[in-house]
Amino acid sequence: MNFFEHQDRAKSNSKKIVLFYTIALILMITLIGVVPAIIVSQNGGDGTAVFLGVSGIILLIAGVGTMVKFAWLNKGGPHVAESLGGRLVSTATRAPQERMLINVVEEMSIASGCPMPGVYLLEGESSINAFAAGLQLDDAVIAVTRGCLEQLSRDELQGVIAHEYSHIIHGDMRLNLKLIGVIAGITTLAYVGEILFRCAGRGSKDDARAGAAIGAIGLLFFIGGWLGVLFSSIIKAMVSRQREFLADASAVQYTRSKTGIAGALKKIGGFANDPKLASANARDA
Protein backbone atom coordinates (compact mmCIF):
# COMPACT_ATOMS: atom_id res chain seq x y z
CA MET A 1 0.00 0.00 0.00
CA ASN A 2 1.50 3.40 -1.03
CA PHE A 3 1.20 6.66 0.90
CA PHE A 4 -1.77 7.87 -1.18
CA GLU A 5 -3.75 4.75 -0.23
CA HIS A 6 -2.78 5.27 3.42
CA GLN A 7 -4.04 8.86 3.19
CA ASP A 8 -7.38 7.84 1.64
CA ARG A 9 -7.93 5.15 4.27
CA ALA A 10 -7.15 7.53 7.16
CA LYS A 11 -9.49 10.21 5.77
CA SER A 12 -12.31 7.69 5.29
CA ASN A 13 -11.90 6.25 8.79
CA SER A 14 -11.91 9.74 10.33
CA LYS A 15 -15.19 10.63 8.61
CA LYS A 16 -16.83 7.40 9.78
CA ILE A 17 -15.74 7.97 13.38
CA VAL A 18 -16.98 11.58 13.41
CA LEU A 19 -20.35 10.49 11.95
CA PHE A 20 -20.68 7.77 14.59
CA TYR A 21 -19.76 10.31 17.27
CA THR A 22 -22.45 12.75 16.09
CA ILE A 23 -25.14 10.06 16.11
CA ALA A 24 -24.07 8.91 19.59
CA LEU A 25 -24.28 12.47 20.99
CA ILE A 26 -27.80 12.89 19.58
CA LEU A 27 -28.84 9.59 21.17
CA MET A 28 -27.33 10.65 24.51
CA ILE A 29 -29.26 13.93 24.56
CA THR A 30 -32.43 12.09 23.57
CA LEU A 31 -31.99 9.49 26.31
CA ILE A 32 -31.44 12.09 29.04
CA GLY A 33 -34.57 13.94 27.91
CA VAL A 34 -36.72 10.81 27.53
CA VAL A 35 -36.27 9.51 31.10
CA PRO A 36 -37.91 12.46 32.93
CA ALA A 37 -40.50 12.76 30.15
CA ILE A 38 -41.63 9.15 30.73
CA ILE A 39 -41.83 9.68 34.49
CA VAL A 40 -43.89 12.84 34.09
CA SER A 41 -46.25 11.31 31.52
CA GLN A 42 -46.88 8.30 33.78
CA ASN A 43 -48.00 10.73 36.48
CA GLY A 44 -50.43 12.51 34.17
CA GLY A 45 -48.13 15.34 33.09
CA ASP A 46 -47.08 16.61 29.68
CA GLY A 47 -44.15 14.35 28.80
CA THR A 48 -43.55 16.03 25.44
CA ALA A 49 -43.10 19.44 27.03
CA VAL A 50 -40.69 18.00 29.59
CA PHE A 51 -38.67 16.25 26.89
CA LEU A 52 -38.39 19.42 24.82
CA GLY A 53 -37.59 21.50 27.89
CA VAL A 54 -34.88 19.19 29.22
CA SER A 55 -33.34 18.73 25.76
CA GLY A 56 -33.30 22.50 25.28
CA ILE A 57 -31.58 23.00 28.63
CA ILE A 58 -28.97 20.36 27.75
CA LEU A 59 -28.21 22.05 24.44
CA LEU A 60 -28.03 25.47 26.12
CA ILE A 61 -25.63 24.35 28.87
CA ALA A 62 -23.41 22.34 26.54
CA GLY A 63 -23.49 25.15 23.97
CA VAL A 64 -22.30 27.74 26.49
CA GLY A 65 -19.47 25.47 27.67
CA THR A 66 -18.43 24.80 24.08
CA MET A 67 -18.45 28.48 23.09
CA VAL A 68 -16.35 29.47 26.11
CA LYS A 69 -13.74 26.88 25.09
CA PHE A 70 -13.92 28.01 21.47
CA ALA A 71 -13.27 31.60 22.55
CA TRP A 72 -9.98 30.57 24.19
CA LEU A 73 -8.82 28.30 21.37
CA ASN A 74 -9.91 30.71 18.64
CA LYS A 75 -7.15 33.19 19.47
CA GLY A 76 -4.91 31.64 16.84
CA GLY A 77 -1.79 29.57 16.54
CA PRO A 78 0.63 32.15 18.04
CA HIS A 79 -1.50 32.40 21.19
CA VAL A 80 -1.50 28.61 21.65
CA ALA A 81 2.26 28.34 21.09
CA GLU A 82 3.02 31.21 23.47
CA SER A 83 0.69 29.82 26.14
CA LEU A 84 2.84 26.68 26.08
CA GLY A 85 6.03 28.69 26.53
CA GLY A 86 6.97 28.94 22.86
CA ARG A 87 9.32 31.60 21.46
CA LEU A 88 9.03 32.80 17.85
CA VAL A 89 12.14 31.86 15.87
CA SER A 90 13.27 34.60 13.49
CA THR A 91 13.83 33.61 9.87
CA ALA A 92 17.10 35.56 10.12
CA THR A 93 18.41 33.60 13.11
CA ARG A 94 22.08 32.63 13.10
CA ALA A 95 21.94 30.04 15.88
CA PRO A 96 22.98 26.77 14.15
CA GLN A 97 20.11 24.57 15.40
CA GLU A 98 17.50 27.28 14.84
CA ARG A 99 18.92 27.98 11.36
CA MET A 100 18.55 24.30 10.51
CA LEU A 101 14.96 24.37 11.79
CA ILE A 102 14.04 27.39 9.64
CA ASN A 103 15.67 25.82 6.57
CA VAL A 104 13.76 22.56 7.07
CA VAL A 105 10.44 24.40 7.51
CA GLU A 106 11.11 26.39 4.31
CA GLU A 107 11.91 23.18 2.41
CA MET A 108 8.71 21.49 3.55
CA SER A 109 6.72 24.59 2.65
CA ILE A 110 7.93 24.23 -0.93
CA ALA A 111 7.41 20.45 -0.99
CA SER A 112 3.85 20.64 0.38
CA GLY A 113 2.78 23.79 -1.46
CA CYS A 114 1.69 25.33 1.85
CA PRO A 115 2.67 28.87 2.92
CA MET A 116 5.38 28.88 5.57
CA PRO A 117 3.83 29.13 9.05
CA GLY A 118 5.33 30.86 12.06
CA VAL A 119 7.97 28.73 13.77
CA TYR A 120 8.12 28.48 17.56
CA LEU A 121 10.66 26.85 19.83
CA LEU A 122 9.74 25.49 23.27
CA GLU A 123 13.03 26.11 25.06
CA GLY A 124 12.11 24.49 28.36
CA GLU A 125 10.93 21.19 26.85
CA SER A 126 13.62 18.51 26.67
CA SER A 127 11.25 15.87 25.26
CA ILE A 128 11.01 15.12 21.54
CA ASN A 129 7.73 16.69 20.48
CA ALA A 130 6.14 19.07 17.99
CA PHE A 131 2.70 20.38 17.17
CA ALA A 132 0.81 22.54 14.70
CA ALA A 133 -1.72 25.12 15.90
CA GLY A 134 -4.07 27.62 14.29
CA LEU A 135 -7.38 27.50 12.48
CA GLN A 136 -6.43 29.05 9.14
CA LEU A 137 -3.31 29.05 6.99
CA ASP A 138 -2.65 32.70 7.84
CA ASP A 139 -2.48 32.06 11.61
CA ALA A 140 -0.94 28.58 11.57
CA VAL A 141 2.27 27.87 13.47
CA ILE A 142 4.56 24.91 13.95
CA ALA A 143 6.24 24.52 17.32
CA VAL A 144 9.04 22.14 18.22
CA THR A 145 10.70 21.37 21.51
CA ARG A 146 14.37 21.93 22.27
CA GLY A 147 14.58 18.14 22.50
CA CYS A 148 13.71 17.87 18.79
CA LEU A 149 16.69 20.01 17.81
CA GLU A 150 19.08 18.26 20.16
CA GLN A 151 17.99 14.63 19.68
CA LEU A 152 16.93 14.36 16.02
CA SER A 153 19.04 14.30 12.88
CA ARG A 154 18.23 16.71 10.07
CA ASP A 155 16.34 14.01 8.11
CA GLU A 156 14.36 13.05 11.21
CA LEU A 157 13.52 16.68 11.93
CA GLN A 158 12.41 17.04 8.31
CA GLY A 159 10.05 14.08 8.76
CA VAL A 160 8.57 15.61 11.92
CA ILE A 161 8.06 19.01 10.25
CA ALA A 162 6.45 17.35 7.21
CA HIS A 163 4.14 15.49 9.61
CA GLU A 164 3.04 18.80 11.14
CA TYR A 165 2.51 20.35 7.71
CA SER A 166 -0.01 17.59 7.04
CA HIS A 167 -1.99 18.62 10.11
CA ILE A 168 -2.15 22.19 8.74
CA ILE A 169 -3.04 21.23 5.16
CA HIS A 170 -5.73 18.68 6.11
CA GLY A 171 -7.44 20.94 8.66
CA ASP A 172 -6.68 18.71 11.62
CA MET A 173 -6.44 21.69 13.99
CA ARG A 174 -10.00 22.76 13.15
CA LEU A 175 -11.27 19.22 13.68
CA ASN A 176 -9.41 19.00 16.98
CA LEU A 177 -10.89 22.34 18.06
CA LYS A 178 -14.41 21.07 17.41
CA LEU A 179 -13.82 17.88 19.39
CA ILE A 180 -12.23 19.74 22.32
CA GLY A 181 -15.12 22.21 22.30
CA VAL A 182 -17.75 19.47 22.38
CA ILE A 183 -15.97 17.72 25.26
CA ALA A 184 -15.84 21.03 27.15
CA GLY A 185 -19.58 21.49 26.62
CA ILE A 186 -20.41 18.01 27.89
CA THR A 187 -18.12 18.55 30.88
CA THR A 188 -20.06 21.72 31.68
CA LEU A 189 -23.28 19.69 31.60
CA ALA A 190 -21.81 17.26 34.15
CA TYR A 191 -20.74 20.12 36.44
CA VAL A 192 -24.19 21.74 36.27
CA GLY A 193 -25.77 18.36 37.02
CA GLU A 194 -23.61 18.00 40.12
CA ILE A 195 -24.63 21.48 41.31
CA LEU A 196 -28.34 20.74 40.77
CA PHE A 197 -28.08 17.42 42.59
CA ARG A 198 -26.31 18.99 45.59
CA CYS A 199 -28.75 21.89 45.81
CA ALA A 200 -31.88 19.75 45.44
CA GLY A 201 -31.97 18.66 49.09
CA ARG A 202 -31.54 22.14 50.57
CA GLY A 203 -35.10 23.36 50.11
CA SER A 204 -37.99 23.31 52.60
CA LYS A 205 -40.27 20.32 53.14
CA ASP A 206 -42.97 22.05 51.08
CA ASP A 207 -40.60 22.04 48.13
CA ALA A 208 -39.62 18.39 48.60
CA ARG A 209 -41.33 17.22 45.43
CA ALA A 210 -39.78 19.94 43.30
CA GLY A 211 -36.42 19.30 44.93
CA ALA A 212 -36.63 15.61 44.14
CA ALA A 213 -37.39 16.38 40.50
CA ILE A 214 -34.48 18.81 40.26
CA GLY A 215 -32.21 16.31 41.97
CA ALA A 216 -33.23 13.56 39.55
CA ILE A 217 -32.56 15.79 36.55
CA GLY A 218 -29.26 16.87 38.08
CA LEU A 219 -28.25 13.25 38.57
CA LEU A 220 -29.13 12.48 34.96
CA PHE A 221 -27.06 15.44 33.77
CA PHE A 222 -24.16 14.38 35.99
CA ILE A 223 -24.12 10.72 34.96
CA GLY A 224 -24.90 11.42 31.31
CA GLY A 225 -22.34 14.22 31.21
CA TRP A 226 -19.43 12.22 32.58
CA LEU A 227 -20.31 9.19 30.47
CA GLY A 228 -20.39 11.56 27.51
CA VAL A 229 -16.98 12.96 28.45
CA LEU A 230 -15.52 9.45 28.69
CA PHE A 231 -17.03 8.39 25.39
CA SER A 232 -16.04 11.67 23.70
CA SER A 233 -12.45 11.36 24.89
CA ILE A 234 -12.25 7.84 23.46
CA ILE A 235 -13.66 9.02 20.12
CA LYS A 236 -11.27 11.99 20.08
CA ALA A 237 -8.35 9.61 20.62
CA MET A 238 -9.59 7.39 17.77
CA VAL A 239 -9.91 10.37 15.41
CA SER A 240 -6.48 11.67 16.44
CA ARG A 241 -4.97 8.26 15.73
CA GLN A 242 -6.36 8.27 12.18
CA ARG A 243 -5.11 11.83 11.59
CA GLU A 244 -1.68 10.77 12.83
CA PHE A 245 -1.69 7.93 10.29
CA LEU A 246 -2.63 10.46 7.61
CA ALA A 247 0.16 12.82 8.72
CA ASP A 248 2.74 10.02 8.70
CA ALA A 249 1.75 9.05 5.15
CA SER A 250 1.86 12.70 4.08
CA ALA A 251 5.31 13.12 5.64
CA VAL A 252 6.58 10.33 3.37
CA GLN A 253 4.95 12.08 0.40
CA TYR A 254 6.50 15.49 1.14
CA THR A 255 9.99 14.22 2.02
CA ARG A 256 10.00 11.32 -0.48
CA SER A 257 11.65 9.28 2.24
CA LYS A 258 10.43 6.81 4.84
CA THR A 259 13.59 6.91 6.94
CA GLY A 260 13.16 10.42 8.36
CA ILE A 261 9.76 10.06 10.01
CA ALA A 262 10.47 6.40 10.87
CA GLY A 263 13.70 7.34 12.64
CA ALA A 264 12.00 10.14 14.55
CA LEU A 265 9.19 7.84 15.71
CA LYS A 266 11.73 5.27 16.90
CA LYS A 267 13.56 7.90 18.93
CA ILE A 268 10.30 9.22 20.39
CA GLY A 269 9.28 5.68 21.35
CA GLY A 270 12.62 5.01 22.99
CA PHE A 271 12.99 8.39 24.70
CA ALA A 272 13.71 7.92 28.40
CA ASN A 273 11.58 10.87 29.54
CA ASP A 274 7.86 11.32 29.02
CA PRO A 275 7.44 12.70 25.46
CA LYS A 276 4.40 14.74 26.51
CA LEU A 277 4.71 18.49 26.98
CA ALA A 278 5.06 19.64 30.57
CA SER A 279 2.75 22.67 30.21
CA ALA A 280 -0.69 22.50 31.84
CA ASN A 281 -2.23 23.76 28.56
CA ALA A 282 -0.68 20.95 26.49
CA ARG A 283 -3.88 18.89 26.23
CA ASP A 284 -5.43 21.63 24.07
CA ALA A 285 -2.56 21.78 21.59
Q: How many domains does the chain fold into? A: 2
DSSP string, 221-256: HHHHHHHHHHHHHHHHHHHHHHHHHHHHHHHHHHHT
The Cα angle at residue 248 between residues 153 and 229, in degrees rounded to 5: 120
From 170, 198, 227, the end of a domain falls on 170
Is residue 142 located within the same domain as residue 20? no
Question: Can you give the residue range of the structural domain that contains 124?
Answer: 78-170
Q: Is residue 155 located within the same domain as residue 201?
A: no
Same domain, 163 and 84: yes
Active site residues: 164
Main-chain phi, psi angles of 126, to 5 degrees: -85, -10
- pLDDT attached to residue 1: 45
Same domain for 166 and 84? yes
In a domain, 202, yes or no: yes
**28 shares its domain with 89:** no
**Longest Cα separation, the chain:** 78
- Kindly report the pTM of this predicted structure: 0.74
- Say if residue 117 is in the same domain as residue 242: no
Q: Is residue 127 part of a domain?
A: yes
Q: What are phi and psi of 61, to 5 degrees?
A: -65, -50
Check whether residue 180 and residue 203 sit in a common domain.
yes
> Residue 91 in 3-state DSSP?
coil
pLDDT at 279: 58
Does residue 82 sit in the same domain as residue 160? yes
Residue 264 in domain: no
Same domain? For 180 and 237 the reply is yes
pLDDT score recorded for residue 148: 95
Does 186 lie in the same domain as 245? yes
Contacts of 158 (CB under 8 A, 6+ apart): 104, 107, 108, 255, 260
Per-residue pLDDT of the chain (285 residues; tens, 9 = 90+): 455 565 566 667 667 777 777 787 788 888 888 888 888 788 788 888 888 988 888 889 988 988 888 887 778 889 989 999 999 999 999 999 999 999 999 999 999 999 999 999 999 898 999 999 988 888 899 999 999 999 999 999 999 999 999 999 988 888 888 888 888 888 998 898 888 888 876 655 556 666 777 788 888 888 888 888 888 888 888 888 888 888 888 898 899 988 999 999 998 887 555 555 655 555 555
Radius of gyration for the chain, computed over Cα atoms and rounded to the nearest angstrom: 23
Is residue 59, in this structure, part of any structural domain at all?
yes
Q: Mark whether 112 and 185 lie in a shared domain.
A: no
Q: Is 69 inside a domain boundary? A: yes
Last residue of a domain, one of 152, 170, 188: 170
Q: Which residues contact 258 (CB under 8 A, 6 or more apart)?
A: 252
Tell whether 279 is covered by a domain: no
The pLDDT value recorded for residue 88 is: 97
pLDDT in tens, 109-159: 999 999 999 999 999 898 999 999 988 888 899 999 999 999 999 999 999
285 inside domain = no
Residue 109, domain CATH = 3.30.2010.10
For residues 218 and 166, membership in a common domain is answered with no
Phi, psi (degrees; rounded to nearest 5) at 40? -65, -45
Domain final position from 129, 144, 170: 170
46 assigned to some structural domain: yes
Angle at 25 between CA 19 and CA 31, to 5 degrees: 135
